[in-house]
Amino acid sequence: AYAASRPAPLGPTRLRTDAQGDAVVEVSRLCKDFSQRQGWRRTSVLHALRDVDLVVARGEAVSVVGESGSGKSTLLRVLAGLTEPTSGTAVVRGRRQMVFQDAGSSLTPWMSVGDLLREQLRPLRLDRRAADARIAEVLGLMQLPAATAQARPGELSGGQRQRVALARAVVVAPDVLLCDEPTSALDASLAAGVLNLVRELRAELGMAVLFVTHDLSVARLMGDRIVVMRGGKVVEDRAAEAVVSDPQHAYTRALLQAVP
Ligand code: ADP
Ligand code: MG
């Protein structure tokens, strides 16, 4: 029975203990090429992803780090179903949601936050009261006042908008949250707040998080495991502590030296 004082939990994720340890993401020999053209002539092929293998277990937090152009966003876009791989396979088991760098500024301006979130929930076919309870719960998790549901994006600060974008992704209780540098457009203190929220949400909802960043210290904060990418290849994939204390690849050592 529905109890107004105690909203239903955000979804089945935290109840699904039988599948614990199962892979929610399985990427195998994934390649993505882009042809580069000059006018109508195809001049060369750019290998954005080269034979990438990656497994993410249910509930696991994995960071993907690498400099600009290393293929991080392309990997996430393939996992989000936004682009087709050239070869290889990428499987996501369960619900996936993606948060982009500029997510806060791409919210539909004329829709209230409540309507934005309700629209996300539509495929779940919750009744109105269950949807409202879910929305109230997710706003609470985001440390946004309940009245935010009535606000339009333009009435919110940049940090609040990014929280709304995060709320929009997690309100459906995804099995996998794909984050593409969601804090790099925010100033340091706002960024820290959003990073902590993602960590808390993961603990609360039991979802797996694949967190892309060019910053190794952020990667360390956000991942139990760190995947280092360079030139479209995975050059290192180990426990975060191991990557930081004993980097195997010269490139990772160079990244470490760049961390203040
Ligand atoms: P990162 O997110 O690590 O900065 P990207 O995945 O965005 O790297 O890009 C990897 C490479 O693929 C880069 O050289 C980039 O220019 C190229 N690339 C990405 N998307 C496209 C596209 N739609 N068309 C052509 N080249 C692209
Ligand atoms: Mg990118």
Q: Which atom of ligand 1 is nearest to the CA of 49?
A: 10
Query: Which atom of ligand 1 lies nearest, measured to the CA of 212?
Result: 2
Measured distance CA(52)–CA(33) in Å, rounded: 13
Alpha carbons within 13 angstroms on the beta-carbon side of residue 12 total 7
Q: Is ligand 1 within 6 A of the CB of residue 66? A: yes
Question: Which two three-digit tokens encode residue 76?
Answer: 């996430």
Is residue 64 within 6 Å of ligand 1 at its C-beta?
no
Measured in angstroms, how far is the CA atom of residue 180 from the centroid of ligand 1? 13
ipTM over 0.90: yes
| Percent of the chain topping pLDDT 90 | 70
pLDDT digit string, tens, across residues 97-126 = 999 888 778 899 999 999 999 999 999 999
- State in Å: Cα 182 to ligand 2 middle: 10
Q: Is the pLDDT of residue 46 over 50?
A: yes
What digits encode the pLDDT tens for the residues 88-104? 999 999 999 999 888 77
Q: Which ligand is nearest to the CA of 74?
A: 1
Give the pLDDT confidence score for residue 37 in this predicted structure.
82
Q: pLDDT for 208-242, tens place per residue? A: 999 999 999 999 999 999 999 999 999 999 999 99
- What's the Cα-to-Cα distance from 132 to each of 49, 55, 246, 259, rounded to whole Å? 41, 35, 48, 43
Ligand nearest to the CA of residue 49, numbered in listed order? 1
* Percentage of residues in the chain having pLDDT higher than 70: 91
